[in-house]
Amino acid sequence: MNRASWPPKQREIALTIAAVLAVWLYARFYDSASFAASAPACNFTAPCPFVAVPGEGAVHVNVRAGPGTGFAVRAQIDRGAPVLGIARRQNAQGEAWIELSGNRGFAKATLLAPAPADGSARP
């Protein structure tokens, strides 16, 4: 018996179970902090303020010569340090990188967060 021939009540139950499972998987495994950092509310028509948010156990965010880990590290940004992003780039692996102002280089988007509206340095 294929799903198209299931009685309406059985189809409804199956869809409900699938929806509940999808919501649970989303809540359990989705990293919303990374998403917020990788999808900033900035359209880059002007430089956008960000702060560095290194991963767990890290103290710095690497600034690289290009948008990817294969590029040399030019500098490091301390946790909570403010930076200005001028463009969002995607590398060949599909990772989002933010190009920093002043020809500083690129920082991985998941390691930057939009700067707090009150102007404080730490998110």
pLDDT in tens, 12-51: 777 677 666 665 555 555 544 444 444 446 888 889 999 9
**When comparing pLDDT for 88 and 12, which is higher?**
88
CB 50 within 8 A of CB 106: no
pTM over 0.75: no
User: Using CA of residue 86, residue 102, residue 93, residue 37, what is the dihedral sign?
Assistant: negative
Residue 38's pLDDT is what? 47
**Continuous segment of H or E residues that includes residue 18:** helix 8-29
Q: Over 90: is that where the pLDDT of 98 sits?
A: yes
Q: Compute the half-sphere exposure of residue 66: CA atoms within 13 Å on the CB side of its CA.
A: 7
**Residue indicated by tokens 């309406």:** 8
Residue 10's pLDDT is what? 80
**CA-CA distance, 6 to 9, in Å (whole number)?**
8
Average pLDDT rounded to a whole number, residues 38-67: 86
